[in-house]
C-alpha cells in the first residue's frame, strides 16, 4: 500500500510526465512547420516516450492500491525562438524533471518504501540518459552556431540519435 504522501508525489510525477509529453509535442509541431522534419520526428518520438513514462506510473500507482489521477495540463508554448533555443529548453526541462525524480526517491527512502524506491530506479537511469543526450545535442548545436547549412545537416543527422535507451529494457 502506498502512503498518502508517496501517492501524492507519484501523482505529481504523472502530471510532470504528461506535461513533458505535451511540451515536446509542441516542439515537434513547431519544428515541423519550420521545415525541420528530422527535428520534428525526434520530438514526436520524445513526446511518445514521455507518455509511456506517464503510463508506467499510472499502472504502478493503481497496482499498489492507490488511485492514479489523470491531470489537466497547461497549454505549452506554440513557438520557440529558434531550434537551438528549443533544445536548450528541452535540456532545462529534463534537468527540472530529474530534480523531481530525486525528490521522490528521497521521500521513498525517508518512508522506507523500498518497492517504490526500486521502481523509481528505472526513472533515475532514464533521466541520466535523457540529460546526456540533450547535452550532446547542445554541444553539436553550439558548434553549428547560426549557420543555416549546419542546421540543415543537423536536421538530417538527428534521425540517427536515439531518443532513449533505458526504455529498451522495459518489460
Ligand atoms: Fe520522462 O523522461 Fe524526460 O522528462
Domain-wise residue ranges, the chain:
4-70+79-158
The secondary structure of residue 161, as a DSSP letter, is S
Q: Is the pLDDT of residue 169 over 50?
A: no
- The architecture in CATH of the region 4-70+79-158 reads Up-down Bundle (1.20)
The secondary structure of residue 81, as a DSSP letter, is S
For residue 116, name the pLDDT band (cuts at 50, 70, 90): very high
**Cα 97 to ligand 1 centroid, rounded to whole Å:** 6
**Cα 127 to ligand 1 centroid, rounded to whole Å:** 6
Q: What is the predicted pLDDT for the residue at 161?
A: 83
**Cα 3 from chain centroid (whole Å):** 26
Q: Is the pLDDT of residue 147 over 70?
A: yes
Alpha helices in the chain (DSSP H): 4-33, 37-63, 83-110, 114-144, 148-157
How much is the pTM?
0.93
Q: Which cell is 137 given?
A: 545535442
Is 46 touching ligand 1 by the criterion CB < 6 Å? no
Question: How far is it, in rounded angstroms, from Cα 28 to Cα 48?
Answer: 11
Q: What is the pLDDT of residues 27-80, one digit of tens each?
A: 999 999 999 999 999 999 999 999 999 999 999 999 999 999 999 999 999 999
Q: Residues 61, 119: contact at Cβ < 8 Å?
A: no
Instruction: Identify the residue whose C-alpha is closest to ligand 1 atom 1.
Output: 50
Amino acid at each position: 500500500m502506498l502512503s498518502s504522501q508517496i501517492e501524492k508525489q507519484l501523482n505529481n510525477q504523472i502530471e510532470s510526465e504528461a506535461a513533458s509529453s505535451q511540451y515536446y509535442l509542441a516542439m515537434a509541431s513547431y519544428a515541423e512547420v519550420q521545415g525541420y522534419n528530422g527535428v520534428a520526428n525526434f520530438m514526436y518520438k520524445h513526446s511518445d516516450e514521455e507518455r509511456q513514462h506517464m503510463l508506467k506510473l499510472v499502472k504502478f500507482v493503481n497496482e499498489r492500491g492507490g488511485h492514479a489521477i489523470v491531470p489537466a495540463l497547461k497549454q505549452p508554448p506554440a513557438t520557440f525562438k529558434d531550434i537551438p533555443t528549443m533544445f536548450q529548453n528541452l535540456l532545462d526541462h529534463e534537468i527540472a524533471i530529474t530534480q523531481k525524480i530525486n525528490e521522490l526517491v528521497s521521500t521513498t527512502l525517508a518512508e522506507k518504501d523500498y518497492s517504490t524506491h526500486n521502481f523509481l530506479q528505472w526513472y533515475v537511469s532514464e533521466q541520466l540518459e535523457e540529460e546526456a543526450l540533450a547535452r550532446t545535442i547542445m554541444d553539436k548545436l553550439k558548434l553549428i552556431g547560426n549557420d543555416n547549412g549546419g542546421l540543415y545537416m543537423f536536421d538530417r543527422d538527428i534521425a540517427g540519435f536515439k531518443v532513449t535507451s533505458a526504455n529498451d529494457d522495459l518489460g
